[in-house]
Amino acid sequence: MNWSWSYFFEYLTNGLMLQGAWTTVWLSVVSMAIGLGLGIVAALMKMYGNRALRYVAEFYIWLFRGTPILIQLVIIYTGLPQIGIRLSVIEAAILGLALNEGAYLAEIIRAGIMAVDKGQDDAGRALGMTWRERMWIVILPQATRTIIPPLGNQFNGMLKTTSLASVISMEELMRNAQMLAQIEFRVLEVYIVAAVWYLVLVTIWHQIQLRIEAHYEKPFGPAAAVASEGERELAKAVRAAGATNT
Amino acid sequence: MSTHGEMAMTETGQATAASAADTLPEPPARPNGKVKTLGEPIVTVEQVHKSFHGNHVLKGVSLTVRQSEVVVIAGRSGSGKSTLLRCIDRLETIDDGRIVACGNLMGFRETNGRRVALRDHEIARQQREMGMVFQNFNLFPHISVIDNITVAPIRIKKVPRAQAREEARALLERVGLPEKENAYPRQLSGGQQQRVAIARALAMKPQVLLFDEPTSALDPEMIAEVLDVMVDLSHQGMTMIVVTHEMGFARAAADRVLLMHEGSIVEDAPPEDFFTKPTSDHTRAFLSKILQH
Ligand SMILES: Nc1ncnc2c1ncn2[C@@H]1O[C@H](COP(=O)(O)OP(=O)(O)OP(=O)(O)O)[C@@H](O)[C@H]1O
Ligand SMILES: [Mg+2]
């Protein structure tokens, strides 16, 4: 038995690990935010675009859902320089994670928009709203309610998926753990500490997620808190559409 | 609805409506004491055809509705009533014919006899002139009653917020729901929701209101509260096209009752003629079916 509690506690508060954890957090947030933008655009293109836009969106979704994110990251960072596109580690990590996430979010957002009753769009049009006004005022706020739970799960996945960016030497939690492991060869202690940090981040996120979900339930009035059978089915379908990546 | 009596029609008003208002002869009073003058044509439907995937739903429908006129459209399920209303409000495109509503050729611009399809924001501007009330209310569930009513005036017509809210409160008063402004749609009964939907449509100050079976989704005890609001509107001179099977409303408020059958208008008569001496066999069949219930 060669387990050292002192190394364990040393790593737990090690500056490199804390820095790595912080990087994991902001990398996740930034990639998720950009991915969300990409996902909304791709979903709207696929649902409402002309033929060309639809094909572009479908190709994007097909490509990034159909290949491992590990390969996407490696191609973006080490492959693209071959054709003259040179990105920094941070740029490559954010781009890869966001592009991958956007493809999954597009399908979740699309399912959320489709779950909004067709009569809502009719009502908006009858009031004289343009497509853009109907989207922002009527459709997307209602789609949000169905999208929020799977979106939270996607972010949970994102916190862990960022560890793959270690292969392109992005200095996040996983990468920093690897570096520490090579200094003192306390492999078990250092990776368990990394795992503990991921657990902490995911657990904190879960609490935030619960609060966000409660917030988005509210605008529909107390009666809406009791979701109908049909709505639960829809929510399930939306969740299934965005089955987790990696 | 049994309290609303029969009404005489005002043909003289229709005949002279084209001249300037001050030269109009005094129109005859209705039995309820209200005076009704029909104005110029405000909705004109000409030979409109509409198919859904080869299913010919409107087969050359023509219809003229004048300002302040109340037209009731009845007919079997599937006869094309909703489709006609939705074409008038450009919620559906038409395959042939033309619809002019509130001075706009719906969906198109005509230059040198050539038709050019309008763009999204131009169509939206045309639709602003008309209001529509749906069978399932279609209130926005994520915002409160007062926001449902003010969202379009504020965001689309750029009415100042305070003014929009003040007008919305007056409208809520008018539909008998002054205390519900902060409620959410799901906290209201069907009848209350439909009255909010009427207030929401009125908030855009439309020239014409279209109703698609506004009471069909309501429990019987709530039908009267909605119809009362509609009768009120008709007395105030609102132009209304109402798809409904509430023949009590037709008797009380309609100037004309139409029967649609398989995509055509087969009867178009004042209510008393519609009920007592229909010209079409389809109307007789329709009436006998209604009277059974
Ligand atoms: N969006 C659509 N796509 C395909 N078919 C449609 C669509 N809307 C209506 N139809 C068809 O057009 C026909 C007429 O429908 P419409 O809704 O106008 O009838 P209606 O007279 O309003 O009937 P109801 O009393 O049941 O409301 C029906 O056969 C219907 O199936
Ligand atoms: Mg209908």
- Please report, for chain B, the start and end positions of each structural domain, with discontinuous segments joined by +: 139-205
Q: Which of B255, B74, B16, B154 is nearest to A137 (CA)?
A: B154
User: Mind listing the pLDDT tens digit of every residue in chain A (246 residues)?
Assistant: 688 999 999 999 999 999 999 999 999 999 999 999 999 999 999 999 999 999 999 999 999 999 999 999 999 999 999 999 999 999 999 999 999 999 999 999 999 999 999 999 999 999 999 999 999 999 999 999 899 999 999 999 999 999 999 999 999 999 999 999 999 888 999 999 999 999 999 999 999 999 998 887 765 654 443 344 455 555 555 555 554 443
Residue B292 Cβ < 6 Å to ligand 1: no
Closest partner CB to B151 (pick from A130, A137, A222): A137
List Cα–Cα distances, A183 to A166, A191, A196, in angstroms. Answer: 17, 13, 20
Chain A CB contacts of B153 under 8 Å are none
In contact, B157 and B180? CB cutoff 8 Å: no
Contacts of A127 in chain B (CB under 8 A): 127-128, 131, 152, 156, 200-201, 204
Out of A120, A126, A141, the one facing B131 most closely (by C-beta) is A126
Q: CA–CA separation, B278 vs B272, rounded Å?
A: 9
d(CA B206, CA A127) in angstroms, rounded, equals: 9
Name, in order, each residue with C-beta under 8 angstroms of B255's C-beta and a sequence gap of 6 or more: B9, B10, B36, B38, B69, B70, B71, B270
In this prediction, residue B1 carries a pLDDT of 40
Smallest Cβ–Cβ distance between B91 and the set A122, A219, A224 belongs to A122
What ipTM was assigned to the predicted interfaces of this complex?
Answer: 0.85
Q: How far is B237 from B202, CA to CA, in rounded Å?
A: 13
Structure tokens at A231: 């709505």
B48, B76, B81, B132: residue to mutate for ligand 1 pocket, most atoms within 8 A of CB: B81
Contacts of B118 in chain A (CB under 8 A): none
Nearest CA in chain B to A224: B186
Q: Using the structure block, give the residue that is written with the tokens 């995509």.
A: B263
B135/B137 Cα distance (integer angstroms): 6
Atom of ligand 1 nearest to the CA of B81: 21
CB contact under 8 A, A125 and B155: no
Q: Sign of torsion, CA B53 B57 B63 B66?
A: negative
**Which residue in the set A120, A122, A221 is minimally distant from B186, CB to CB?**
A221
Ligand nearest to the CA of B263: 1
Instruction: Find the closest chain A residue to B129 by CA distance.
Output: A128
Separation between Cα atoms, residue B256 and residue B65, nearest integer Å: 9
Q: Which of B93, B133, B137, B138 to mutate to test the interface with A (most CBs of A within 10 A)?
A: B138
Specify the residue with its C-alpha closest to ligand 1, atom 28. Answer: B78
Q: Please check whether residue A152 is in contact with residue A209, taking contact to mean a CB–CB distance below 8 angstroms.
A: yes
Q: Which residues of A touch B183 (CB under 8 A)?
A: 221
Atom of ligand 1 nearest to the CA of B213: 27
Query: Chain B residue with minimal CA distance to A143?
Result: B142
- Cβ–Cβ below 8 Å for A145 and B142: yes
Find chain A residues with C-beta within 8 A of B134's C-beta: 119, 122-123, 126
- Out of B48, B53, B57, B88, give the residue to mutate to test ligand 1, the one with the largest number of ligand atoms within 8 Å of its CB: B57
**B116 bridge partner residues:** B109
Ligand 1: which residue has its CA nearest to atom 25? B77
Q: What is the pLDDT along chain B (293 residues), one digit of tens a residue?
A: 443 433 333 333 333 333 333 444 444 445 444 456 788 999 999 999 999 999 999 999 999 999 999 999 999 999 999 999 999 999 999 999 999 999 999 999 988 889 999 999 999 999 999 999 999 999 999 999 999 999 999 999 999 999 999 999 999 999 999 999 999 999 999 999 999 999 999 999 999 999 999 999 999 999 999 999 999 999 999 999 999 999 999 999 999 999 999 999 999 999 999 999 999 999 999 999 887 75
**CB of B57 shorter than 6 A to ligand 1:** yes
Q: Give the distance from residue A152's alpha carbon to the nearest chain B alpha carbon, in angstroms.
A: 20
- For ligand 1, atom 9, the nearest C-alpha belongs to B83
Nearest chain A residue (CA) to B89 = A126
Strands (E), chain A: none
- Which pLDDT value is given to residue B3? 38
Residues of chain B neighbouring A221 (CB-CB closer than 8 A): 141, 183-187
Ligand 2 centre to CA of B58 (Å) is 13
**CB–CB contact A127 B156 (8 Å):** yes
A119 Cα to the center of ligand 2, angstroms = 13
CB atoms within 10 A of CB B67: 18
pLDDT digits (tens, 9 = 90+) for B47-86: 999 999 999 999 999 999 999 999 999 999 999 999 999 9
Nearest-angstrom CA–CA distance, A17 and B125: 59
Beta carbon pairs, A and B, within 8 Å: 86
Domains of chain A: 5-245 (1.10.3720.10)
Q: Is B158 left (phi over 0), alpha (psi -120 to 50) or beta?
A: left
CA B212, B214, B220, B224 torsion-angle sign: negative
DSSP chain B: -TT-------HHHHHHTTS-GGGPPPPPBPTTS-B----SEEEEEEEEEEEETTEEEEEEEEEEEETT-EEEEEE-TTSSHHHHHHHHTTSS--SEEEEEETTEETTEEEETTEEEEPPHHHHHHHHTTEEEE-TT----TTS-HHHHHHHHHHHTS---HHHHHHHHHHHHHHTT-GGGTTS-GGGS-HHHHHHHHHHHHHHT--SEEEEESTTTTS-HHHHHHHHHHHHHHHHTT-EEEEE---HHHHHHH-SEEEEEETTEEEEEE-HHHHHHS-SSHHHHHHHHHHHH-
